[in-house]
Structure 1
Amino acid sequence: MGELRTRFSGRALAVLAPARLATPVAWMPAARAFVIGELAQEAEQRRLFPWIAVAFGCGILIFFTATDGLPNVWAPLIAAVACLAVLPFLGAHPLGRAALIALCAVASGFASGTWRVAQVASPILSRTSIAPLTGFIEALDEREEGARLIVRVSTFGTLGAQDRPARVRVSFRKPHALKPGDFIAATARLLPPPEAARPGGYDFARDAFFRGIGAVGSLLGKIEVRTPPVPVPLDLRLAAAIDDARNGLTRRITDANGGQAGAVAAALVTGKRGLITQETNDVLRAADIYHVVSISGLHMVLAAGVVFWLLRAGLALIPYAALHLPIKKYAAAVAMVGVTAYCAFSGWDIAAERSLIMTLIMLGAILVDRPALSMRNLALAALIALAREPEGLLGPSFQMSFGAVAGLIACARWLNGRFFRREGTGWLARNIGLALSAVFGTLLTTLVAQIATAPFATFHFQTIQPFGLIGNALTLPLVSLAVMPSAVIGILAYPFALDLPIWWTMGLAVRGMLMISTWISGFGQATLVVPAFGAGAMMLLATGLLLATLPVSRLRWLAVGPAILGVGFAAASERYDIYIDRDGNGAAVRDRSGRLVALGKPPAFVLEQWLKADGDPRKPADLAGGASCDRLGCTVEAFDGRKIAWVKDKRAFPEDCARADLLMTPRFAPQPCAAALVIDRAYLGRYGATALRLTKGTPLVAHARADRRSLPWRSRGRLEAEDTGGAIPRTANQVPLNPNGPEEPDVFVEPSPESLQ
């Protein structure tokens, strides 16, 4: 082992180590010189700027995870200005200057979160209610049965402006002749936007808050179209006109193709996905190409690319333009206008907006003679996107799209497929080399994007598509070479009514895409469900991705540690044994077989989230029949022998309180109740959805509201329930619903991999 020596210090015990490592003087200067040299290379390659975007994102994370209430926006702004004011006095102290710039970015990110919440804040419905609703239709999404509406509310019952949601999302099943811009009157059943179905799960309430939606539900009975009592606002007229045009083009494309090929083709052009069946969605997800259906980065890049190529090729045919004009810049400028118009027509979806920002920056780089695809441009796009919508940092769309592009930029030199190119060889050899290069480049690009997005996709959706490489490699050429060019040409031909043959041609490519997806979905284990893991593992994996992609020096090797730790923590995550619905309408318990069984009637969406979190590939319907149920409630014996009871009717309380180890109910439990743990309406009103891990002794309990913070997107009704011990005050003209009544309407939207680009 070589010579050993012992080194003592005033603060440490004796340490044995190899001679060349024992003395800090022997290795610390070398390490310091190594780090300084690598950082110098980073600065030379202009790779320090992207870390400003990372610091900005850290400020946003601090805002969303640590604040209790709404901070004063001036506090972080003053902190950011103070950092900038001190910066000129540091002189030649690069580390100090870097630290101050990072602190300024963190404070700015915190300020953006504060400002965004203040800008979008609007009333949230406090409790489930049935009352007359009137308002303007802002957007309408047709579905196989009925439609889903975004309504700008004028009145709801007798609620005043301070309590009435500004916008609501409602659905109806029977067909009605409605269009965007109509002023409607109907009876609505509304409820506060639902919070997470499990601790650490997708929080629909937060997303709805930032979209200005204060309630969700359904319309009951007759829907009347009335004369508006006030003039229609200009912004509403514009939004309604665009949405009506999107619906018209959607119907035209579906009529030209028919079936699911028409529905998917329409979604690729207009972003309207309501006509796509769940079976088709599952097939596309199994092939890992569902991101193609959502208007996002792939669509923005291909749409801009088609316009750019067509205009540049057309100008190149004109000798004077080709010789004397910067036709590349002209094409880039027109492409910027075209892709912006396309984003507006597709509905300004959040994922599309972020992709538009990234595309505009890259096209703008062409105008100023800069590399279009660079990490600096990506960081600039991230800064603009996060400044506009800081909440996007928490969602899968932002994480997956920017993660994929960062991975592709970092691996760009290996993605060009030049390994198969042979200069100076014969015609046949050159063409074979070009073909192999294209195939190799497509496969490697897909693989890099999948690796970069895998941590985020697994964290949010608990699924892995092992054959996604095949699905993307086979379908993306169809999308790039046939589908999107047809979409751009079809939109240009639409005003002239010459578009039907183009949509039919596009439908043929979409049918091929669906055939490939169906074939892949038939493979065994095409979709693997993995247990959910915590935010800590996700942070380690994200840190590993940043360290692997942003540096250009050997500092990239620092990514190995966080990546290995993140994978280890994700693999070692423990599953919960009991899940309880946020409203107490049902639960899932791990029984003697080791699998979850359902108690009560939790919504199918909630059951699906519980199954995915457990790594269980079964469908919600498969959980029925595992418990002993009657009209009063359900009982089941957990895997460790504890007796679990779910009480529906108050007549079951005396018996179940006496015999159950854990009692759950959507009602207020009587006091006293002998059960070791009682989770009733008051408890759930305080803590939200609850999950338990059955250990020896006292179970470990986790809550969706574990932090107990006051957040603007949390329903005031639940906060009032906490303050009043569970008794929720009634509001005039609002009809309280029996917790044992009908299930919630189809108002939940599962977060889907909207974008991998």
Structure 2
Amino acid sequence: MAEGGGRAMRGAVPALLAGRLPAPAQLWQAARDGLRGSVAREAEQRRLFPWLAVAFGAGILIFFTATDGEPSLAAPLIAAGLCLSVTPLLRARPVALALMLGLAAVFLGFAAGVWRVASVAGPVLTRVTIAPLVGLVEGLDEREGGARLIVRVERFGDLDAESRPRRVRVSYRATQAVRPGDAIRATARLLPPPEAVRPGGYDFARDAYFRGIGAVGSLVGKVEVGPPAEPLALSLRLTAAIDAARNAFTRRITDAIGGQAGAVAAALVTGKRGLISNETNDVLRAAGIYHVVSISGLHMVLAAGVVFWLVRAGLALVPMLALACPIKKIAAGTAMLGVTAYCAFSGWDVAAERALIMTLVMLGAILVDRPALSLRNLALAAILALAREPEALLGPSFQMSFGAVAGLIACAPLIDGRVFRTDSSSRIARSASWVAKAVVGTLATTLVAQLATAPFATYHFQTVQPFGLVGNALTLPLVSLAVMPAAVLGMLAYPFALDRPVWWLMGLAVRGMLDISAWIAGFGQANVVLPAFGTGALMLLAAALLLATLPVSRLRLLALVPAGLGVALAASPIRYDIYIDRDGAGAAVRGKDGRLVVLGRPPSFMLEQWLKADGDGRPPEAATGAAGPRCDRIGCTLTAVDGRAVALVMDKRAFAEDCARADILITRLRAPPGCAAPLIADRTFLAVRGATAIRLGTAGPEITTARGAGQPKPWQPQPASVATPATEVGPQSPNDASAADPSDPPPSENPQ
């Protein structure tokens, strides 16, 4: 088939050289034959299977983004069965067979999304509520000045089982000892998990829903702690015991090392990141190595590699075993057990689970005598991970992890350092060759990973670290050669109480990593903020990455088309002129100078996200103190960049004046029925639509909302405030600790 395509092309090229256009039929035949030849080569190289993972992900994406309502699980399963039933009839037509298998994978991905939503369905709190809380502590994360608890709820006020969240996350200023497995009784101030602060932004409510969390908030007043009234189920006892051991291990490491180096070292081992300060997090992000402190692919591979090497080296020291036993397979099996235990001890975090699946698939390939690092194994790992957690496809962790690995596998022949190999018997020459391969390999690996993950990182975080290549090149050798081996040795020495010297040595390497990060963070423009671009640009760039990494034929050249379109769209993003808080308590409006100015008192976390989406690197306090708005006790007014009058009403006494003169009226209250403002974003509107962004133009305001116009998703319950009067619980004060946005940043930068 490939030869046929070449003949057709050879017939079309002379026509072009002769100054005349080939006949349409000739071009069509050339294209068809070329496609068949390329597909045949892809099939010969076993590169069609990875596209099943892409099709599976496409089905998940369709479910999460295009459905309006609750689809049936039977429909996609029946459709997938019909597609698979006709595949035996298509064996003689490889293109049609591949398309039918891909269509079946799309339906199966859609079904996975339907099943996942149904399997985790649970009540979500609809309004701010203060009431007595009785429950069981499932997990505890120590933090600076307190702790964060995951509580399985037994009773909360007078809510019945159908409306009471099954699990809540609460902050707690620790004044007494609380451990996983304890029963607690306290007064809790709970609110619905916060949704995205802007259209297209990180949706904590969605992540909380799939983690079984139906409310967030804080404990107030006295907390009564005691043993559970009834014996716990085995799964709960095991979960509580593991979390208690993680906390004890975290304290042991931090006590042995001390300072922020101890907090980072503990996070590398146990996954508990609560003790890392915001300043340290900012430094690590500026250096482009924040992925190091999140248990993910890098940690799983290094942990598995250390166990694999130790077992294989130990067995190789015994000649009888080395000759009689498959020590490589034994080492791989032991590494699989070790890395699974490490994942369980690190808390089975979402990113860690996906990394575990990928690592197990690659180690399993060794057991069956297959190449460990291949796109086929990566695709299998992606299908398994998405089948278990389809929602992961929407987050940065999955996108960056699998994007980086796909790029590294595709570019492996180019970055393996073979150009520096030498056959010389000189020790100096061999040492120089090894150093050159190590340095160039580290730089090339980091560059490929950064290029592959750049679209996803920029889309989700609106930041670029220009010196990330330097940061990773300088710190990853420390992590690979010192930090992670010390972590494994420390865990092995812990049962013998001989681990303290190991943690001290690990602390030296971690301090070196932090010093390098602080040095890089001190560079000018270590963090560059870029405007948020839309999902269209992200989809095109993701398609370009897939086309550049999965094919082996000339189909790779097709990546240039979506890449060019994606870069063009990303370089000219839509910049909104007004951002409105989902509760109507504040807004950011583009002023006459072209920069956003704050109205009201939105939480700093929310304001920071608005500024970053606008490509504005100012700290939130700089925008808060900007001149322009006129404010008093009952509201604020501001003239927007296009001359429209924007009013924020904080007291109902302001409605009479602002409804008459404002072009855009924003309020956390319900606007009176006779309000004459052309555009009103009040309590009723925001409760249904969520956070709102407005683009001002000559044709009128262009409104985009976080919830959209369709039916709400399961993690977006209809707020009680739409149908009932305001409750006695007042608005949040920005100075109240519980008023700060309780959401975490997106499960962050995990490119490796």
TM bucket (normalised to shorter chain) is over 0.9
Tell me: CA distance 1:242–1:740, structure 2 relative to 1, closer, same or farther (3 Å): closer
Question: Could you list the per-position Cα deviations for residues 217-272 of structure 1 after superposition, in whole angstroms to 9, with x for gaps in the alignment?
Answer: 11111111134233222211111100000000000000001110000000000000
CA contact (8 A) 2:194 2:742 kept: no
Aligned to 1:737: 729
| Matched residue SS, 1:302 | helix
Equivalent residue runs for 1:78-93 within 5 Å: 78-93=78-93
Instruction: After superposition, give the CA deviation of every residue in 1:261-308 in whole Å (9 maximum; x if it has no partner).
Output: 000000000000000000000000000100000000000000000000
Please state how far the C-alpha of 1:745 moved relative to its aligned partner. Answer: 4.0
Give the distance between the partners of 1:313 and 1:597, measured in 2 at CA.
Answer: 63
What aligned pairs does 1:197-346 form with structure 2 within 5 A after superposition? 197-346=197-346
Match of 1:712 in 2: 714
Matched-pair contact (CA < 8 Å) for 1:138–1:152: yes
User: Shift of residue 746 of structure 1?
Assistant: 4.9
In structure 2, the residue matched to 1:618 is: 618
Q: Higher mean Cα deviation, 38-47 or 461-470?
A: 38-47
SS in 1 for 2:86: helix
After TM superposition, give the deviation of residue 174 of structure 1 in Å. Answer: 4.2
Q: How many percent identity over aligned positions?
A: 68
Q: 2:748 matched to 1:748?
A: no
Task: Say whether the 8 Å CA contact 1:73–1:111 is kept in structure 2.
Answer: yes
Structure 1 residues 362-418: Cα deviation after superposition (integer angstroms, max 9, x where no partner) = 000000110000000000000000000000000000000000000000000011112
Task: For 1:123-522, list aligned pairs within 5 A.
Answer: 123-424=123-424, 426-522=426-522
Q: How big is the shift at 1:709? A: 2.2
Compared with structure 1, are the counterparts of its residues 188 and 17 closer, same or farther at alpha carbon in structure 2 (3 Å cutoff)? farther
Q: Deviations over 1:70-106 (max 9, x none)?
A: 2221111111111111222234122221121111101
State the AA in 2 paired with 1:703.
Answer: T
Summarize the Cα distance change of 1:175–1:745 in structure 2 as closer, same or farther, 3 Å threshold.
farther
Name the aligned partner's letter for residue 657 of structure 2: E
Pairwise CA distance, 1:645: 1.1
Q: 1:21 touches 1:27 (CA, 8 Å); kept in 2?
A: no
Name the residue aligned to 1:533.
533
Matched with 1:21 is 21
Any unmatched runs of 5+ in structure 2?
A: 1-15
Question: Shift of the alpha carbon at 1:575?
Answer: 0.5
Partner of residue 655, structure 2: 653
**Conserved in 2, the CA contact under 8 Å of 1:312 and 1:331?**
yes
The aligned residue for residue 5 of structure 2 is: none
Partners in 2 of 1:100 and 1:31 — Cα distance? 21
In structure 2, the partner of 1:727 is: 723
Amino acid at match of 1:715: P
> Which residue does 2:13 correspond to in 1?
none
Counterpart amino acid of residue 749 in structure 1: D
Give the letter for the 1:727 counterpart. Answer: A
2:717, 2:581 → 1: CA distance?
16
3-state DSSP of counterpart to 1:575: coil
Contact kept? 1:682, 1:727, Cα under 8 Å? no
* Offset at residue 117 of structure 1 (A): 0.7
Shift of 1:20: 4.7
Output the TM-score relative to the length of structure 1: 0.95
Cα distance, 1:699 vs structure 2: 1.0
Give the direction of change, closer, same or farther, for the CA distance of 1:417–1:224 in structure 2 (3 Å limit). Answer: same
Offset at 1:727? Answer: 3.4
**Structure 2: how far apart are the matches of 1:729 and 1:674?**
23
Q: Secondary structure at the match of 2:21?
A: helix
Pair 17,685 (structure 1): closer, same or farther in 2 beyond 3 Å: farther
In structure 1, distance between residues paired with 2:112 and 2:506: 42
TM-score, normalized by length of structure 2?
0.95
1:20 and 1:27 in contact (8 A); partners too: no
2:165 corresponds to which letter in structure 1?
P
Q: Distance in 1 between matches of 2:391 and 2:80?
A: 20
Change (3 A) 1:697 1:555: closer
Partner residue, 2:11: none
Mapped contact 1:194–1:203 kept (Cα < 8 A)? yes
Higher mean C-alpha deviation, range 87-96 or range 123-132? 87-96
Take 1:539 and 1:624, find their aligned partners in 2: how far apart are those partners?
34
Q: Do the aligned partners of 2:695 and 2:703 also contact (CA within 8 Å) in 1?
A: yes
- Contact persistence 2:187–2:219 (CA under 8 A): yes
**C-alpha separation in 1, matches of 2:671 and 2:589:** 20
Q: Does 1:565 align with 2:565?
A: yes
CA shift, 1:662, in A, is 1.2
Answer whether contact 2:689 2:709 (CA < 8 A) is retained.
no
Query: In structure 2, the residue corresponding to 1:267 is in which secondary structure?
Result: helix
2:670 is matched with: 668
Aligned CA distance change for structure 1 residues 17 and 411 (closer, same or farther; 3 Å): closer
- Whole-angstrom CA distance in 2 between matches of 1:376 and 1:287: 33
After superposition, residues 620-699 of structure 1 pair within 5 angstroms as 620-626=620-626, 627-699=629-701
Instruction: Name whichever of 227-236 and 609-618 sits farther off.
Output: 227-236
The number of residue pairs the alignment matches comes to 732
SS of the residue corresponding to residue 114 of structure 1 reads: helix
Structure 1 residues 499-549: Cα deviation after superposition (integer angstroms, max 9, x where no partner): 000011000000000000000000000000000011111000000000000
Alignment of 1:584-595 (within 5 A): 584-595=584-595
Please give the residue correspondences for 1:26-175 in structure 2 after superposition, counting only pairs within 5 Å: 26-175=26-175
Deviation of 1:49 (Å):
0.4
1:740 Cα deviation from its structure 2 partner: 6.0
Give the counterpart letter for 2:653 in structure 1: R
Residue in 2 that maps onto 1:8: none
Contact 1:605 1:748 in 2 (8 A): no
Measure the CA separation in 2 of the matches of 1:681 and 1:17: 68
Aligned AA (2:493):
A
**CA shift in 2, pair 1:18/1:672, >3 Å:** farther
Q: Please report how far the alpha carbon of residue 741 of structure 1 lies from its aligned counterpart in structure 2 after TM superposition.
A: 5.1
Contact 1:300 1:355 in 2 (8 A): yes
Q: Matched residues in 1 for 2:17 and 2:452: separation?
A: 39
Structure 2 CA distance for aligned equivalents of residues 384 and 693 of structure 1: 41
User: What is the CA distance between 1:161 and its match in structure 2?
Assistant: 0.5
Give unmatched runs, 5+ long, in structure 1.
1-15
Taking only aligned residues, the RMSD between alpha carbons, in angstroms, comes to 1.5
What secondary structure, in the 3-state scheme, does the structure 1 residue paired with 2:482 have?
helix
CA contact (8 A) 2:634 2:653 kept: yes
Superposed CA deviations along residues 168-207 of structure 1, whole A, max 9, x for unmatched, are: 0010224331010110011111111111100111111111
Specify whether residues 248 and 563 from structure 1 end up closer, same or farther in structure 2 by C-alpha distance, changes over 3 A only. same
Shift of 1:729: 6.3
- Corresponding residue SS for 1:716: coil
Q: Give the aligned residue type for 1:235.
A: S
CA distance in 2, matches of 1:555, 1:128: 54
| Larger mean Cα displacement after TM superposition, 528-537 or 735-744 | 735-744
Contact map agreement 2:457 2:749 (CA 8 A) in 1: no
Q: Is the 8 A contact 2:39 2:95 kept in 1?
A: no
What is the Cα deviation at residue 660 of structure 1?
Answer: 1.6
- Counterpart of 2:751, as a letter, is L
Q: Secondary structure at the match of 1:569?
A: helix
Aligned-pair distance for 1:694?
Answer: 1.2
Please tell me whether the aligned partners of residues 667 and 739 of structure 1 are also in contact (alpha carbons under 8 angstroms): no
